[in-house]
Amino acid sequence: MTLDYSHAEIREAVRRALEEDIGTGDITTDLCVPAERRAMGQFIARGRYVIAGLPLLPVIYEMRGGVDEMCVFAADGDETSDGAILARVTGPARTLLTCERVALNFLQRLSGVATLARQYVEAVRGTQCTVLDTRKTTPGLRRLEKLAAAAGGVTNHRLGLFDAILIKNNHIAAAGGVRPAIERARAAGLPVEIEVRTRAELTEALEAGVERVLLDNLTPEQAAEEIRWINGRAKVEISGGVTLANIRAYAEAGPDFISCGAITHSATAADINFRLELL
């Protein structure tokens, strides 16, 4: 799966964010600031972060009539120092002020995701385990949050329900069992992954020739025992209850993958501010 900032869904997310914030007009700026006034603004990191989202700045300003000049000093995945200038923009003061909050909301949110993602990746360094993100994203912002997770070094799992097969426990119940679910899923011609909750379900999945199993909500010790029993007959993903405090223990249990929803649903926004100066 390849993601980039040019996708129409991302432009639509920016458009919606601007419309949500500005509505019928920025009355404070329009009343206080003369239309002819020009300014320069700088986006500044107030801490050490992994940056994501700067490619959105040209899109944001373009949708509000454009600016005179923009210089970007970092790229997705770069680690910043406290006080680092991430980008500089010059143009109509009204445009810079009206776009300020939307630009910061995207940069702060996405850089927070990227920063947390990097911490998870670093926590498993030296093991054979790949860290995955999940679909536990902010509604409407999935592509952006997955771009941010990738900037932090995480591997993107499926984008949605349409691009990969992952049979969960409720699918098994609705299909009438592990084997019927797997057999029906094979009609798509895609690799099949299935969540298993018991040794009996795991045995049935392996006997059906499933390519990948998801072990959910096990302790690291329980996961290690199941992985030894699987003995390479399928790729193994671990999920459920994974935190920065325990992901190393899970990785040392020997899975191929660990998926973690916290990377996107619990990331703390980065502290990035915008400083305006008149020209």
Candidate list 136, 158, 235, 248, residue with the active-site label: 136
Clarify whether 136 is annotated catalytic: yes
Clarify whether 168 is annotated catalytic: yes
Clarify whether 235 is annotated catalytic: no
Candidate list 11, 38, 88, 101, residue with the active-site label: 101
Clarify whether 101 is annotated catalytic: yes
Clarify whether 146 is annotated catalytic: no
Candidate list 145, 195, 201, 204, residue with the active-site label: 195
Can you state the angle between helices 178-185 and 199-207, rounded to 10 degrees?
40
Distance between CA atoms of residues 52 and 106, nearest Å? 9
Candidate list 216, 252, 256, 271, residue with the active-site label: 216
Candidate list 168, 186, 233, 235, residue with the active-site label: 168
Enter the tokens of residue 53: 């989202």
The catalytic site residues sit at: 101, 136, 168, 195, 216
